[in-house]
Structure 1
Amino acid sequence: MVRPKSCNNNKLSYITVPSPSQFEIITSVTSSQHDPKQPLLISPKPNFKNTIKCLQNPRLWFLLLFAFTFLGMLKLGYYNVDPLNPISAAPCFQTVQMLQPQQMGLTIGEESGVGSKSISMIESKGEEGQEVSEFWEQPNGLGYRPCLEFTEDYRRSSEGVVKDRTKYLLVVVSGGLNQQRNQIVDAVVIARILGAALVVPILQVNVIWGDESEFSDIFDLEHFKRVLADDVHIVSSLPSTHLMSRPVEEKRTPPNVSPRWIRERYLKRLKRDGVLLLRGLDSRLSKDLPSDLQKLRCKVAFRALRFSPPILELGNKLTQRMRSKGPYIALHLRMEKDVWVRTGCLPGLSHKYDEIIRSERKLRPELLTGRSNMTSHDRKLAGLCPLNALDVTRLLKALGAPRNAKIYWAGGSPFGGREALAPLTREFPYFYNKEDLALSGELEPFSNKASLLAALDYIVSEDSDVFMPSHGGNMGHAIQGHRAYAGHKKYITPNKREMLPYFLNASLPENEFNRIIRELHRESLGQPDLRRSKMGRDVTKYPIPDCMCSSIVNRKSTT
């Protein structure tokens, strides 16, 4: 401790708080103000006169005010402090350079949930702070909540339906996971229409992925039976009384048939033979059904079809590992080779990759969906093509996604490998899939089982803060409805047809481009979609208002 010459010294540089055993204010002085012949001594006794003079110094009070202001700002959250990162205290309005873990002297262990991936970094808010906060903002749900109240007539007829042991419906469902889900939903509704017991659906071996999973491998069978116990009688297999029955097989059910058509077509034969076998149910049942049957659809999709315990356990672990890094985006990237072939579009990676897709399409022209007289460029402008990684990157940036946003990507391996994802990973480096998040050996029980792996993607994607598909499809539709039903979580539907001309306009300034893209997506990011304006659409994609009620709307309608 240095005895100061004067408390009014203009060269005072700092003041420290004394220990309990000492009662003097300690200051440091420059060597130019200290007599070099006089040694620096520690005062054995407190000098109260100097202490009083120091306390009268206005600079002391300024320093104290500054210290308390700084502490207050920390308390109120004006400084961003990441408990996992000891150097992350940074002013909100200061752009902070992104550091790699090696630069910080940090290593990532199992606690963060992601092998060698880097931990969550400091969020740079800067001038884009408002956009960043808006990006994570969730839509206004207008007070809508799940509402599956069935009518008295439905409940009264349920007793007879679930007790009937004379009629049984067998169904064989095909396709990928979400296509199978859609057919299972319709199978339950058809069983209810016919008053028949439903034998647990048979999953056809997928010819593309070779997945031989059964219903109980993917879904919780006992939960499925229990939830639907008051709607349809569900059995694991045909009873002995019907084992010798030759089922009536129907392969030619036309699209969008009504409940009346189903009764007139099948009920008489079902009563006569006892067993009806249906295949190819995809989009065969009308999307516009009576209210009770629409509610039954939602009950099956959102409540009864719960994934099996092993899938749920791992899916929830992966979700927690993403969640531990803060809010995250889930992308369903439709960039597989067969998607480019079927859509008539080109991946745009290089001439070599485009030629591979063209050659494959010539060899298998039957795979092409839609009009074949359109060029790939025309298809893209019409919004019929999946977004590639560059398109997704530009869209996310325009909508205000921060560079340090954590992204989970779902989907099969992209055509072109990691090179196809390069535009995304360069702009958004915190980029993970299930292989990145899983610990050693966790994915082994799911290997070579496409439906089970897709179920893991579904769980992590459904729970994300923001979800966006790069192209329409069964998974995107299922998650859109599920997120609305589960609490109106943000879902971005790329307005491809309207936005792509601006993507091709290289002369458009970035600020103007971002403004236009945000304006094109403003409605889809706000209030939930109501099915009233989308008749013919699946209620499991648009559950409002068929399966959800709003007290706000009801109050307005009664005033």
Structure 2
Amino acid sequence: MARTRNSKSSSFVSLMNPSFFTHLLSLPPFHSLHYSPRKNSRITQTTSFLSFCFVSLFIALFFFGILLITFTTLFQNSLSCPHTSYYSSSSPLFVASVLAAASSGSDFAQDDEPFTLSTSAMVPLPAHGIVGNLTEEEKEFWKQPDNQGYIPCLDFSLKYRKASAKISNEKRKFLVVVASGGLNQQRNQIVDAVVIARILEAALVLPVLQVNHIWGDESEFSDIFDVEHFKKILKADVRIVASLPSTHFVSKQTINRELPFHVSPLWLRARFLKQLNQEGLLILKGLDSKLSKNLPPDLQKLKCKVAFHALRFAAPIRELGYQIARRMWIEGPYVAIHLRLEKDVWIRTGCLTGLGRQYDSIISRERESHPEYLTGKLNMTHAQRRLAGMCPLNASEMARFLKGLGAPNNARIYVAGGEPFGGTQAMQPLQKEFPNLVTKHTLARNGELTPYLEKSSTLAAIDYIVSLSSDVFINSHGGNMGRALEGHRAYVGHRKYIKPNKRMMLPFLEDSFVPEEEFKRIMKKLHSKSQGQPEPRAKKIDRDVIAYPVPECMCRQ
């Protein structure tokens, strides 16, 4: 782009050279402006006047052409490099803006602001940096990874933008999607629903959130997400409507439940386009993780736009989430851990709780009565599952892991997730090693959480906001929230994200005879590349762009 601007500049300079105008004025009819015979004075005056008008018109057209070239160049450059610009996390303006947002419980995007990607994303409170009297080990633990110059970059192609005018005004074909599971599972399905609506060129009805059979949460889309913001951000991509028009209600609606995995845009069009064109309505259920992870670049960018910009939490959730995050942030750097010690996780993973025979028996009985909950291979023993990395780290293992990474004993730790199976007993080993252990329940004041105690999705959203703003995030057992935060933290500045390498570290965790310093050296070596540096999605097949936004959704400055 710099080369293009230079070439345009040199062309402009050559046109402005005095010799160009001298040569021009020496030619008829311009010559009559500075030379005319006396014998034809009246004719000469007329000719001079016409010449003057011609020259004036020429000069006006000339400068109009220069302005047109300049603005065309600037416009083309803005289309070819439309990087999303964020303030630097160390910028005083950024810090002041974020603190003001956290104090008011909002984020940057205001309803009266024009839509820009840089003001619509849900952003964390700024990282603290390394301050105070810390040891080298502690400095290394709190140090943020190098983002290698990557910034958000959602540059949709010209073909995509040309098609948007028609798709965003679709009023005949409608897609209805029923999203199931917990909050972050639902978020993934909502992202895919927008992409599928775009593929099928249909209007999207606000997704229906199925009542969660484990937590009994009956929240609707508008209870969790900011509906108007969702529509506003996506209005150029897909038409979003609050409900299905009465003209499209039929006595018997067909619900498509059986979708294969890794569904491609071509498959979706071949399977549903004819039905959608004929009936004007398509209802999809059971969409969870069925859409292909390897989509065309424009659709990958759309996924990022939905996940990181459009799906903003509703105002009450946002306000409370930022208030709790600020209570953690104001006292210095902190770690957020998603422990995954809830009862349903133990049932689904088929792992032992580490709390003794009494608790393990309860989980075994539940699992036997609901065998469909168990994930993974059914013929694996408890020990095989654990060594394969299929079990969450319990509180004792997490405590040793944190110490191995060099976390100071006075580190402030926020524990995200639901109530751990076993209550306070399950958390004792971690609490003993790291006394500054808190949850949303201990940080909330004056009954702030009371209205949401039966709303698991709202509680999960608060955990998401506080975890997003943490200086270090550790996920003990994969899952949708962990993957979402992995990508979101990369997208907003590559905040430190540590993913335990359970397969490699478990033998050392079980060996109590390994010297402490040797254990630390091993843990740091195993996780030296798992610290949040930009990792391209294409490094491994079938990675989700929401977890790995490089290179489709991020580019170097």
TM-score, with length taken from structure 1: 0.75
**Aligned position for 2:339:** 333
Q: 2:234 aligns with which of 225, 228, 235?
A: 228
Between the aligned partners of 1:422 and 1:311, the Cα distance in structure 2 is 30
Deviations 1:482-513 (A, max 9, x none): 10001100000000000001111122111111
Q: Please say if 1:546 is aligned against 2:543.
A: no
Is this contact kept in 2: 1:294–1:547, CA < 8 A? yes
Q: 2:319 aligns with which of 288, 313, 317?
A: 313
- More displaced stretch, 224-233 vs 518-527: 518-527
Q: Please say if 1:384 is aligned against 2:390.
A: yes
Tell me the amino acid that sits aligned with residue 431 of structure 1.
L
- More displaced stretch, 317-326 vs 503-512: 503-512
**Aligned position for 2:169:** 163
**Aligned position for 1:195:** 201
Question: Cα offset for 1:526?
Answer: 5.7
> Is the partner of 1:307 in helix, strand or coil?
coil
Q: Cα 1:249–1:363, aligned 2, differ >3 Å: closer, same or farther?
A: closer
**Aligned position for 1:218:** 224
| Count of residue correspondences | 429
Between the aligned partners of 2:132 and 2:194, the Cα distance in structure 1 is 50
Between the aligned partners of 1:230 and 1:320, the Cα distance in structure 2 is 34
Q: Please say if 1:461 is aligned against 2:470.
A: no
- More displaced stretch, 469-478 vs 335-344: 335-344
Between the aligned partners of 1:226 and 1:445, the Cα distance in structure 2 is 28
**Aligned position for 2:281:** 275
Q: 1:480 aligns with which of 462, 471, 486?
A: 486
**Aligned position for 2:259:** 253
Is this contact kept in 1: 2:388–2:503, CA < 8 A? yes
**Aligned position for 1:204:** 210
Q: Please say if 1:533 is aligned against 2:539.
A: yes
Between the aligned partners of 1:192 and 1:403, the Cα distance in structure 2 is 50
**Aligned position for 1:178:** 184
Tell me the amino acid that sits aligned with residue 410 of structure 1.
A
Q: Greater CA radius of gyration, 1 or 2?
A: 1
> Is the partner of 2:375 in helix, strand or coil?
coil
Q: Please say if 1:421 is aligned against 2:427.
A: yes
Question: Cα offset for 1:367?
Answer: 2.2
Is this contact kept in 2: 1:169–1:199, CA < 8 A? yes
Is this contact kept in 2: 1:247–1:273, CA < 8 A? no
Is this contact kept in 2: 1:329–1:405, CA < 8 A? yes
Question: Cα offset for 1:125?
Answer: 8.6
Is this contact kept in 2: 1:245–1:273, CA < 8 A? no
**Aligned position for 1:431:** 437
Between the aligned partners of 2:525 and 2:329, the Cα distance in structure 1 is 29
Q: 2:517 aligns with which of 486, 511, 514?
A: 511
Tell me the amino acid that sits aligned with residue 219 of structure 2.
S
Q: Please say if 1:351 is aligned against 2:354.
A: no
Q: Cα 1:275–1:124, aligned 2, differ >3 Å: closer, same or farther?
A: closer
**Aligned position for 1:53:** none
Is this contact kept in 1: 2:484–2:546, CA < 8 A? yes
Structure (1 or 2) with the greater helix fraction: 2
Is this contact kept in 1: 2:412–2:437, CA < 8 A? yes
Question: Cα offset for 1:239?
Answer: 2.1
TM-score, with length taken from structure 2: 0.75
Tell me the amino acid that sits aligned with residue 495 of structure 1.
N
Between the aligned partners of 1:534 and 1:303, the Cα distance in structure 2 is 26
Question: Cα offset for 1:245?
Answer: 7.5
* Structure 2 alignment gaps of length 5 or more: 1-102, 104-129
**Aligned position for 2:411:** 405
Between the aligned partners of 2:281 and 2:430, the Cα distance in structure 1 is 52
Deviations 1:56-83 (A, max 9, x none): xxxxxxxxxxxxxxxxxxxxxxxxxxxx
Between the aligned partners of 2:249 and 2:131, the Cα distance in structure 1 is 67
Between the aligned partners of 1:430 and 1:298, the Cα distance in structure 2 is 35
**Aligned position for 1:300:** 306
Is this contact kept in 2: 1:194–1:267, CA < 8 A? yes
Question: Cα offset for 1:295?
Answer: 0.2
Tell me the amino acid that sits aligned with residue 361 of structure 1.
R
Is this contact kept in 1: 2:494–2:532, CA < 8 A? no
Is this contact kept in 1: 2:340–2:476, CA < 8 A? yes
**Aligned position for 1:82:** none
> Is the partner of 1:545 in helix, strand or coil?
coil
Deviations 1:16-71 (A, max 9, x none): xxxxxxxxxxxxxxxxxxxxxxxxxxxxxxxxxxxxxxxxxxxxxxxxxxxxxxxx
Tell me the amino acid that sits aligned with residue 316 of structure 1.
Y
Deviations 1:426-480 (A, max 9, x none): 1111111111011012112212011011111111011110001111101101111
Q: What's the C-alpha RMSD, in Å, of the aligned pairs?
A: 1.7
Q: Cα 1:125–1:298, aligned 2, differ >3 Å: closer, same or farther?
A: closer
Is this contact kept in 1: 2:138–2:408, CA < 8 A? yes
Question: Cα offset for 1:326?
Answer: 0.5
Tell me the amino acid that sits aligned with residue 343 of structure 2.
K
> Is the partner of 1:183 in helix, strand or coil?
helix
Is this contact kept in 1: 2:176–2:204, CA < 8 A? yes
Is this contact kept in 2: 1:347–1:354, CA < 8 A? yes
Question: Cα offset for 1:374?
Answer: 1.8
> Is the partner of 1:157 in helix, strand or coil?
helix
- More displaced stretch, 506-515 vs 220-229: 506-515
Between the aligned partners of 1:124 and 1:189, the Cα distance in structure 2 is 44
> Is the partner of 1:491 in helix, strand or coil?
strand
- More displaced stretch, 388-397 vs 528-537: 528-537
Between the aligned partners of 1:245 and 1:199, the Cα distance in structure 2 is 19
- More displaced stretch, 220-229 vs 204-213: 204-213
Equivalent residues in 2 for 1:33-48, closer than 5 Å? none
> Is the partner of 2:492 in helix, strand or coil?
helix
Is this contact kept in 1: 2:497–2:532, CA < 8 A? no
> Is the partner of 1:276 in helix, strand or coil?
strand
Between the aligned partners of 2:179 and 2:346, the Cα distance in structure 1 is 25
- More displaced stretch, 264-273 vs 370-379: 370-379
Question: Cα offset for 1:142?
Answer: 0.8
Between the aligned partners of 1:125 and 1:383, the Cα distance in structure 2 is 37
Is this contact kept in 2: 1:245–1:275, CA < 8 A? no
> Is the partner of 1:268 in helix, strand or coil?
helix
**Aligned position for 1:499:** 505
Is this contact kept in 2: 1:330–1:409, CA < 8 A? yes
Deviations 1:304-358 (A, max 9, x none): 0000000000000000000111100000011112211211111112222223223
Question: Cα offset for 1:529?
Answer: 1.6
Deviations 1:410-441 (A, max 9, x none): 11111111111001111111111111011012
Between the aligned partners of 2:287 and 2:437, the Cα distance in structure 1 is 37
Is this contact kept in 1: 2:409–2:433, CA < 8 A? yes
Between the aligned partners of 1:499 and 1:338, the Cα distance in structure 2 is 25
Between the aligned partners of 1:229 and 1:476, the Cα distance in structure 2 is 29
Is this contact kept in 2: 1:302–1:482, CA < 8 A? yes
> Is the partner of 1:487 in helix, strand or coil?
coil
Question: Cα offset for 1:294?
Answer: 0.3
Between the aligned partners of 2:411 and 2:131, the Cα distance in structure 1 is 10
